[in-house]
Amino acid sequence: MDLSVIVVVYDMAREIPRTLQSLSRQYQEMCDDLSYEVLVIDNGSPAPVEESVITSVGPEFRYHRLENPPPSPAYALNYGAQQARGDTLCFMVDGAHLLTPGVFYKAMGATRALRNAVVAVRYFYMGPGQQNETMLQGYDKAREDELLRSIDWPSAGYRLFEVGSPLVYRDFPVVTWFYKPLESNCLFMSAAHYRDIGGADEQFDIPGGGFMNMDLFKRACDTGDVTPVMLIGEGSFHQLHGGTTTNIAPDEQARIVKTYEQQYRDIRGDRLTAVSKELFFFGHMPTLASKIHRRNKKAGAKGGAE
């Protein structure tokens, strides 16, 4: 099998049907010859979705519900990797993300074209800005549903760029494809490489995982003879769902992040830094809205960077 996609979910009854739709063979373009599976790992949701919600999307979809799992998704990722049959693994630690339609085609193309590729998809938020800020301005699930209806999603998947916003960091507030992210919620690597780096580190045991996903990304890119790749013109769009850091007020987010930073120091002995290797950028921008660098000009005209 070519590819196994591992999707971790927790209390996402509203979001997961759309996530899975964006992973379906009907949605992902130029994947007729791709053999793949999607493993949905429920990490102990108090009200899990019915298995039929998962399996009805297509024969590629399988459902696993963990009983009394740790609160961090690290174990769920490793469990999924153990069940996976694909030569390449894709990890979606937050199951509330929608993908654009060319992710599978471009990511698998990168794995064929480049030596030992580790492929990351850029992180976006649904809505007009960073969700922990837009929530305070009235952005909610009803508004998000309205945005998706307005672009006729999922029939026009690339229109997600019209209703979403790129994640930006406070110390690098420039909107661009060409940068080093700290993490990706849609991360591809070979199954062999995942085993070689020891998988997700279950020492990151904070609910939500803390910096576990960032740690996995950094180790995957910096360990061994690999080529770190960032896809251009594709995105992973975070739906509003009450995430442990993405969907809380900025001051509360800052407090929690300090806890994450301290745990990372305790485990790794130093602060988290970006991937040390240079990235290879792969793809193209298929629509005007996907040319996200143009947003810097708009923000500048309003008197500040986005």
pLDDT surpassing 50 at residue 306:
no
Q: Please provide the distance, in angstroms rounded to a whole number, between the alpha carbons at the two ends of the chain.
A: 42
- From start to end of 32-171, where are the E strands? 36-42, 61-65, 88-92, 97-99, 117-126, 164-166
Please classify residue 106 by burial: count the beta carbons closer than 10 Å to its beta carbon, then call 0-12 exposed, 13-18 middle and 19+ buried: buried
DSSP state letters, 212-247: HHHHHHHHHHHSSS-EEEEEEEEEEEEPPS--TTTT
Query: 3 forms bridges with which residues in the sheet?
Result: 36, 88
pTM of the model: 0.95
Give mean pLDDT, residues 283-291: 98
pLDDT at position 303 is 40
For 123-145, what is each residue's pLDDT tens digit?
Answer: 999 999 999 899 999 999 999 99
**In the predicted model, what is the mean pLDDT of the chain?**
95
- 199, 166 contact by CB (below 8 A): no
Q: What is the pLDDT of residues 234-281, one digit of tens each?
A: 999 999 997 556 656 677 878 999 999 999 999 999 999 999 999 999
Please report, for the chain, the start and end positions of each structural domain, with discontinuous segments joined by +.
Answer: 3-301
Region 85-105: mean pLDDT is 99
Topology at the third CATH level for domain 3-301: Spore Coat Polysaccharide Biosynthesis Protein SpsA; Chain A (3.90.550)
According to the model, what pLDDT value does residue 297 have?
72
Token pair 């007729």 is at which residue? Answer: 32
Residue 254 confidence (pLDDT): 83
Q: How far is CA 87 from CA 84, 116, 189, 256, in A?
A: 9, 12, 9, 36
